[in-house]
Structure 1
């Protein structure tokens, strides 16, 4: 059964070159995004730190949006998100902003609390998108 679930993804990427998108502002050895066929996998993005949590979330989503725009995509093309929160008490605050920024129907999503994030961030957002 598991093979059948992965089959559409594998077939969708078959024969398509994989392209890695670099970001001069990356804070580690990773690609900012990877394009594999119709799918785009955007590495985790963080927002401006030292500001309010809400501003950090907004600028985090802005960073994701910029990477998608560079690849002629937008938040409406996102099919999955992974959210990493330093403090799960901010889950409701995050959701309020997320619901305003991402179009309905919303992407599939996972949200987990973590002990720490790079650069002292309070939130990190990773997405996968698909070209229509």
Structure 2
């Protein structure tokens, strides 16, 4: 039987009580990271456009990975949700530079609306 451990990074804004930054499955040491929006530690959306917002989402995910004892090198899957697929190239430019090679498997889809009307949300699955 596996156990699930809740992980929250003190370097990110606190989520409402309905979800955690990540959960870690002890049986397989799999970490499921909740979607991160471009909010700073105080929960404020960072200024700028899609590139600044992508950087903040990735930084927030990195904070959670560190809190879980993992890193980008151990990320197996990334899901990116864009408000507008016209932002794909600009987002991808930041993503390409930020993540180590080889890159994890990835899905990127356009969605109608995201929390706080942000333009991007990114989630991931990793191992420790």
Shorter-chain TM-score range = 0.7 to 0.9
| Structure 2, unpaired ranges of 5+ | 40-44
Sort the Cα spacing of 1:28 and 1:93 in 2 relative to 1 into closer, same or farther, 3 A: farther
Deviation at residue 52 of structure 1 after TM alignment: 2.2
Sort the Cα spacing of 1:56 and 1:28 in 2 relative to 1 into closer, same or farther, 3 A: farther
2:7 is the alignment partner of 1:21: yes
Measured in 2, the distance between the counterparts of 1:53 and 1:95 equals 10
Measured in 2, the distance between the counterparts of 1:28 and 1:111 equals 27
Deviation at residue 83 of structure 1 after TM alignment: 0.3
Measured in 1, the distance between the counterparts of 2:16 and 2:116 equals 8
Aligned length: 117
Sort the Cα spacing of 1:92 and 1:28 in 2 relative to 1 into closer, same or farther, 3 A: farther
Deviation at residue 21 of structure 1 after TM alignment: 2.0
2:33 is the alignment partner of 1:47: no
Scaled by the length of structure 1, the TM-score of the pair is 0.82
Deviation at residue 57 of structure 1 after TM alignment: 0.7
Measured in 2, the distance between the counterparts of 1:112 and 1:98 equals 15
Structure-to-structure mapping, 1:2-17, within 5 angstroms: 15-17=1-3
More helix by share: 1
Measured in 1, the distance between the counterparts of 2:110 and 2:120 equals 9
2:76 is the alignment partner of 1:74: no
| Structure 1, unpaired ranges of 5+ | 1-14
Measured in 1, the distance between the counterparts of 2:100 and 2:16 equals 29
Q: Which runs of 4+ in 1 moved over 3 A?
A: none
| Higher-Rg member (1/2) | 1
Scaled by the length of structure 2, the TM-score of the pair is 0.84
Measured in 2, the distance between the counterparts of 1:32 and 1:117 equals 17
Who is 2:81 aligned against? Answer: 84
Q: CA RMSD in A?
A: 1.6
